[in-house]
Structure 1
Amino acid sequence: MGAIEASSNQSDWDYDSTTTHWILFSNIKNLIIRGGGTIIGNGEIWWKNSCKINPNLPCTVAPTALTFFSCNQLRVENLNIINSQQIHVSVEECTDVSISNVMITAPEESPNTDGIHVSKTSNILIKGCVIRTGDDCISIATGSQNVSVMSIVCGPGHGISIGSLGANNSLAKVSDIIVDDVTLNGTTNGVRIKTWQNYCDSLVPCYEEVKTESNINKSAVLISGVIYKNIKGTSASKVAVNFSCSRTLPCQNIIVENIRLVGEGGQSTESLCSHVVLSKSEMVVPQICI
C-alpha cells in the first residue's frame, strides 16, 4: 500500500483554464485499479482560492483528482481518496464500469468536491462506498443510463443527485437509474433530481429558460426510469427530497419506495417537487409530490 500525493503549491501546476484533470486514464479497455492505497489531493489551497469561499476572487476550475475517460470494462476497488482539488472521481463516456469499496473524504465546507461524478456512461455499478464531502456524494449526469448505486454511506455532503445540464442540438437523457440501500448522514439535499434549466451554480443570478418549439430540440432534457428505494438517515436541511424537473419534458416513471429521511434530532422534513410524474410512492417520509 502506498500513496499518491498532489503538490499543495499551485505554482507547481502547469495549469490553465482548460486543464481539468490531475490523474487521467483515457481510452483503456479492461483496466483494473485495486487499492489499498491512498490518493491525496491536497485541495485546501484550491478551496481557499475558490470564488465560492472568497467572492472577491475570480471563478476558476480546479482539477478533478481521478478521471476515467472512454474506458471500457473498468474496475476500481478499495481506494481511499481524500481532499480532492474539486471532484474526486469522474467517470466520463465509459462502458461497463464497477466501482466498489471506495472511501472518499473531504471537509463539509470544501466547494465542488463531488465524490463520484458520472456522465455519458452506461452500465455502471457503484457499490459499498463511504463518501463524505462538501458536494454531491454521487452525481449522475447527462447521457448516463443503466446506473446502479447500492450500499452507500453518504454524508456530510449534498446527497445523491440525478440530473442533466442539457446538450446542444440533441436530446439529453438520463435513464434507468437505481439507487438502493443508502444511508444519508446530515446531507443538505438528500435525494435530488435536478435538470439543467433549474440548476444554478453561480455567484450571479440564474434565470430559467422557457422552452419553445423553436428551441426544444436544440437543448432538451429527459429524465426517466429512476428508482430511489431503501434510503434512510438524516437531513441537515428542511427539504430532504427535491425533484426539480423540466417544465417541457417532466421527469417520467419515477419510483420512490421505503424512504425515511428525518431532520437531525428527529425533526420533520419536507419535499419539493416540480414537473415530475411518480409511478409509485410507498412508505416514504417525507411524503413526496402531494
Structure 2
Amino acid sequence: MVAPASRSAWPKENMRWWIMFRDVDRLTVTGDGTIDGNGEMWWKTSCRVDKKLKCTDAPMALLLSKCNNLTVENIQLLNSQQIHMSVEDCQDVLLKGITITAPGDSPNNDGIHIARTKDIQVLDCDIKTGDDCMSIETGTENLYASRISCGPGHGISIGSLGDDNSEAQVSNITVYKAHLSGTTNGVRMKSWQGGKGYAKDITFEDITMEDVHNPIIIDQNYCTSADPANPKPCKKQTSAVEFSNIQFKNIRGTSATEEAIKLDCSDTVPCHDILLQDVELTFRGHKHKHKHASATSVCNNVKLTESGSNVVPKTC
C-alpha cells in the first residue's frame, strides 16, 4: 500500500493519520506486505528540516486506537510521513516481527509510539528511523519489549512526559535484549519541568550499544522547541514527574560520546532507587577511532541504590 505522492491528496481536516483502526476488538493485522508512507515529500516541508517553514501536521502511517486483544504481526512499514505506527488507548496487545525502515535524517517519524495502553508485548522488531525507535508515553502500563534492533534513530525512549504541566503515569516497563547501533541516544527517559505524576518500576536489561551517543540517559530537564526557528529556553519550574525504581542491568558496548551515562534529575523531585548493575561502556571517539578510551558519567540530583559489580564508567 503506497500513500499518495501529493500533499493536496490529503483533506485539510484530516492531516493526522493515513490508515486507522479504531474500536475494533480481537483485530489481527498481518501479512507479508508493506505500508509505504511515501514520506519524502512531507519531510522536505518539515520545519525540522527547513527552519524557515511553518510547523504543520503530517500523517502517521498506521494508527491503532481503542482496540483490545490486538495483534500486529510480520508487517513492514516504510518511509512514513511522520510516526510510523501509534498504539493508543488499547489493551492486551501483541506487536511481533515488525520491520520499520526510514532514513536516519527523516524528521519526527518515531517507529512504534505507545500511549495510554495496558498489557502490551513488543517482540522481534527491527526499526531504522529518524526519531525514537520506540517512544513510550504516558498511560503505558505493563509493557514487555524484547529482541528489539534499533538504528539509525533516537533510541528507545520513555517520554517525553509532563509537557505543558501535564500529569504522567508510566509503570512496569521492561526492555529486555535490545541492540542499538549508531543511534543518537541509547535507553532514555525524558520529562519536562512543570509536569507531575510518575514513571516507576522500569528495567532496561541485556542491551548492547554500538557507537551510540548518550547510551544511558535520564533527563528531567528535557526542553525542545515547538518552533525550531525560534528556540526558547524552558523556564525553571519546581514540579516534576517523579522517576523511581529504574534499573539498568547488563548494558555493554561503545559510546560515541565521552559522556556515556547522564543522569540529570530535578532539583526538587530527585530520581530515586536508580540501579546500575554490570554496565560496561567505553568511549570510541574520533581521536580514538581504533582505541577504546575512558568514558565519563554525569549525575545531578540522583539517589542511586547500591550499584552492582563492574559499573564502567563509575557513577556518582
TM-score between both structures, scaled by the size of structure 1:
0.85
Distance, in Å, in 2 between the alignment partners of 1:255 and 1:29 is 39
Q: Relative to 1, partners in 2 of residues 1:222 and 1:67: Cα closer, same or farther, differing over 3 Å? A: farther
Q: Structure 1 counterpart of 2:49, which letter? A: I
Partner of 2:233: 206
- Counterpart residue number, 1:282: 308
Q: Could you say what secondary structure the match of 1:181 adopts? A: strand
Q: Is the 8 A contact 1:188 1:240 kept in 2?
A: no
The residue aligned with 1:257 is: 277
Unaligned runs of 5+ in 1: none
Distance 1:286 1:14 in 2: 53
Aligned counterpart in structure 1 of residue 135 of structure 2, from 128, 132, 139: 139
Q: CA deviation at 1:95?
A: 1.2
Shift of 1:181: 1.0
**Could you tell me which of 185, 189, 195 is aligned with 1:189?**
185
Tell me what 1:8 maps to.
5
Query: Counterpart in 1 of 2:216?
Result: none
Q: Kindly state the Cα deviation for residue 158 of structure 1 after the two structures are TM-superposed.
A: 1.0
Q: How does 1:42-61 map to 2 (within 5 A)?
A: 42-61=38-57
Aligned residue pair count: 279
8 A Cα contact 1:91 1:121, kept in partner: yes
CA contact (8 A) 1:182 1:230 kept: no
Q: 1:158, 1:190 within 8 Å by CA — same for their partners in 2?
A: yes
CA distance in 2, matches of 1:107, 1:99: 22
Structure 2 residue aligned with 1:172? 168
Please report the RMSD computed on the Cα atoms of aligned residues, expressed in angstroms: 2.5
- Alpha-carbon offset, residue 234 of structure 1: 4.2
For residue 223 of structure 1, report the CA deviation from its aligned partner. 3.4
1:282–1:106 Cα change, 3 Å: farther
1:28 to 16, 24, 27: 24
For the structure 1 residues 260 and 207, does the alpha-carbon distance in structure 2 shift closer, same or farther, using more than 3 Å as the test? same
Change (3 A) 1:48 1:224: same
> Could you give the per-residue CA deviations for residues 45-65 of structure 1, whole angstroms, max 9, x where no partner exists?
111001111011001121111
CA contact (8 A) 2:281 2:313 kept: no
State the distance in 1 between where 2:159 and 2:39 align: 25
- Cα distance, 1:256 vs. partner? 3.6
Q: CA deviation at 1:123?
A: 1.4
TM-score (norm 2): 0.79
Alignment partners' CA distance in 2, 1:242 and 1:116: 24
Report the CA distance shift for 1:260/1:71 in structure 2 as closer, same or farther (over 3 A).
farther
The aligned residue for residue 118 of structure 1 is 114
**Counterpart in the other structure of 1:71:** 67
Contact 1:105 1:131 survives alignment (8 Å): yes
Q: CA-to-partner distance for each residue in 1:104-151, whole Å, 9 max, x for gaps?
A: 111011111111111111111111111111111111111212111211
Overall identity of the aligned pairs, in % = 47
Name the SS for the 1:128 alignment partner: strand
Displacement after TM superposition at 1:29 (Å): 1.3
Instruction: Tell me the distance in 2 between the aligned counterparts of 1:76 and 1:207.
Output: 38
Counterpart-to-counterpart distance in 2, 1:69 and 1:273: 38
- Kept in 2: contact 1:146–1:176 (CA 8 A): yes
1:160-211 alpha-carbon deviations (Å, 9 max, x no partner) = 1112432778742222111111111011111211112223332222314413
Aligned match of 1:105: 101
Whether the 8 Å contact between 1:51 and 1:57 is mirrored in structure 2 is yes
